[in-house]
Amino acid sequence: MVSRVIPVDPFDLVIFGGTGDLARRKILPALFRRFCAGQMQEGTRIIGAARAEMDDVDYRAFVAEALIEFNDGHGCEEGTIAAFQRILSYVTLDALGENGWADLAAKMHDGRVRAFYFSVGPSLFGALAEKLHEHGMADSDTRIVVEKPFGRDLSTAKALNRALADHFDEGQIYRIDHYLGKETVQNLMAIRFGNMLFEPLWNSQYVDHIQITVAETVGVGGRGEYYDRSGAMRDMVQNHLMQLLCLIAMEPPAKFEPDSVRDEKLKVIRALDEVLPDQIVRGQYLAEGDKPGYLDHVETTDSTTESFIALKVHISNWRWAGTPFYLRTGKRLKARSSEIAVVFKATPHSIFGPEAGRHRNILTIRLQPNEGIDLDVTIKEPGPGGMRLIDVPLDMTFTEALGPDAEDVADAYERLIMDVVRGNQTLFMRGDEVEAAWAWTDPIIAGWETRGDDPIAYESGSSGPEEALALMHRDGRKWREVRA
């Protein structure tokens, strides 16, 4: 199997915040890999723009260092970094002042796709949009890419949407959620809508419940100050877990096209029920040995921000009424593991008698590590001695099933940035989706703030607070083990 690379016409990409952490760790390595793959044609240009005083030569050296540090050993022949450096340039620029804007405008080519990646804090989004307009760079060929966090509640998200809408149409705005760029997440749609096998069973009549877990082993580390103002609900659930939930739960879109898909996702968010206090468990990790606890990372020693959250969520629509969705995410957990598990109901009657036990099919979509899909199928335990049943996984780990090319699949940032250049918004969040997600999230947060709920302390390296286990136990269900 050979992956197909379709070159795109030459484009100009400006990275505002081109010296920042995200640019170094994700955006520049992603661009480099697409360059190595042969997707960029002669004449394509990448322009870093940030406050630091640098010239083109400094920036090229800066990017080469970032590539060496963060490119995960992706193989490129010698000389490729030098070739990539030739398409790079840099402008020292202040989003809040006049400095640098005329220089940037002078670098733009007419009549080609222009993308501006806002890899800066959201407080600068409005100023950047305004400046692009003032300096004649906000025309119909322009696309802007904005990073999370897209607001911290409904009113700030609305303000950001308004600020961008002053100068750009919705069709020009690409709100990134890198989870949507993951290969397996797109495979989720391929599995649902490309097979006859699953979709007829994809409803409350056959699905007992769905679990979505995004577990991290890292703590908040150096991001403590930012994270403490956010917490797991805002940082992970409102965006990433919500997007996964939407793709699992949405109705089949008529076409795999941006608005068809996003219309269906929006309907899911609007059908989410209010979450009651006893359907929420929040936690904060404790120190372990020489590893600091959550409170050691943040300024307020009595912070009540959660580093873990588990929720039981209901979708009130024809397809899902009665099938709960359990979501959980947290830091400093026992393994780095993200997965979606669709747990089907047991057969209505066991012809094998009680000793055979009751079994369920589980479809697991693993996002990381070992991206792939498992389907637990019930079979007879081999050997004599009667009909005993066991569950065995039909395991499709992509790298095993698809060979070495599967390891070379573009990562989320590579795919999403090239989608921006190609003008495909299917995997980006629309403004109304983001607002609907905040409209659901806000009352949940307001609820625990009003009640003064404190997060429950949990051991580092555990699966989170015991109470999160109880959230499922009392429904006669259990979480799948968090394991790498």
Paired strand residues for 89: 47
213 known member of a binding site: no
Asked if 228 touches ligand NAD (CB under 6 A), the answer is no
Q: Which of 240, 297, 314, 359 is catalytic?
A: 240
Answer whether 160's CB lies under 8 Å from 125's CB: yes
Known active-site residue 349: no
Comparison of 146 and 482: residue with beta carbon closer to ligand NAD: 146
Q: First and final CA of the chain: distance in angstroms?
A: 28
Conformational region of residue 43, where left means phi above 0, alpha means psi within -120 to 50, and beta covers everything else: left
Q: How far is the CB of 389 from ligand NAD (least distance, A)?
A: 45
Asked if 135 touches ligand NAD (CB under 6 A), the answer is no
Cβ contacts of residue 396 below 8 Å, gap of 6+?
A: 372, 373, 374
DSSP letters along 300-365, please? -TT----SEEEEEE-B-STTTTT--EEEEEESSBSS-EEEEEEEEPPPSS-TT-GGG-----EEEE
217 known member of a binding site: no
Asked if 225 touches ligand NAD (CB under 6 A), the answer is no
Comparison of 115 and 191: residue with beta carbon closer to ligand NAD: 115
| Residue closest to ligand NAD, measured at CB | 20
345 known member of a binding site: no
Q: CA 239 to CA 77: how far, in whole Å?
A: 37
Cβ contacts of residue 14 below 8 Å, gap of 6+?
A: 46, 47, 48, 49, 104, 114, 115, 116, 117
Asked if 137 touches ligand NAD (CB under 6 A), the answer is no
Comparison of 176 and 343: residue with beta carbon closer to ligand NAD: 176
Comparison of 341 and 434: residue with beta carbon closer to ligand NAD: 434
Q: How far is the CB of 90 from ligand NAD (least distance, A)?
A: 11
Q: How far is the CB of 47 from ligand NAD (least distance, A)?
A: 13
332 known member of a binding site: no
Task: Give, as ranges, the residues between 49 and 88 that touch ligand NAD (CB under 6 A).
Answer: 50-52
Q: What share of the chain is helix, strand, coil (3-state, %, to 5)?
A: 40, 20, 40
DSSP letters along 424-463, please? --TTSB-HHHHHHHHHHHHHHHHHHHHHTPPPEEE-TTBS
Task: Give, as ranges, the residues between 26 and 55 that touch ligand NAD (CB under 6 A).
Answer: 50-52
Conformational region of residue 403, where left means phi above 0, alpha means psi within -120 to 50, and beta covers everything else: left
Comparison of 23 and 207: residue with beta carbon closer to ligand NAD: 23
Answer whether 305's CB lies under 8 Å from 228's CB: yes
Q: How far is the CB of 477 from ligand NAD (least distance, A)?
A: 32
Comparison of 48 and 465: residue with beta carbon closer to ligand NAD: 48
178 known member of a binding site: yes
Asked if 121 touches ligand NAD (CB under 6 A), the answer is yes
Q: Which stretch binds ligand NAD (CB under 6 A): 92-100, 381-389, 406-414, 416-424?
A: 92-100
Asked if 93 touches ligand NAD (CB under 6 A), the answer is yes
151 known member of a binding site: no
Q: Which stretch binds ligand NAD (CB under 6 A): 94-102, 160-168, 205-213, 427-435?
A: 94-102
Asked if 235 touches ligand NAD (CB under 6 A), the answer is no
Task: Give, as ranges, the residues between 3 and 22 that touch ligand NAD (CB under 6 A).
Answer: 16-22
Side-chain half-sphere exposure of 348, counting CA atoms within 13 A: 2
Asked if 120 touches ligand NAD (CB under 6 A), the answer is yes
Closest to 322 in 3D by CA, of 201, 439, 204: 204
Asked if 96 touches ligand NAD (CB under 6 A), the answer is yes
CA 400 to the chain's CA centroid:
24
Angle at 75 between CA 71 and CA 76, to 5 degrees: 100
Comparison of 124 and 189: residue with beta carbon closer to ligand NAD: 124
Question: What is the DSSP secondary structure assignment for residue 369, as one 8-state letter?
Answer: S
Residue 384 three-state SS: coil
Total of chain residues touching ligand NAD, rule CB under 6 A: 24
Answer whether 287's CB lies under 8 Å from 220's CB: no
Question: Which of residues 148, 175, 209, 262 is near ligand NAD by CB under 6 A?
Answer: 148
291 known member of a binding site: no
Binding site for ligand NAD (CB under 6 A): 16-23, 25, 50-52, 93-96, 119-122, 124, 147-149
Q: Which residues are annotated as a binding site?
A: 17-24, 51, 148, 178, 182, 216, 235, 331
Q: Which residues are annotated as a binding site for substrate?
A: 178, 182, 216, 235, 331
Catalytic residues: 240
Q: Which residues are annotated as a binding site for NADP(+)?
A: 17-24, 51, 148
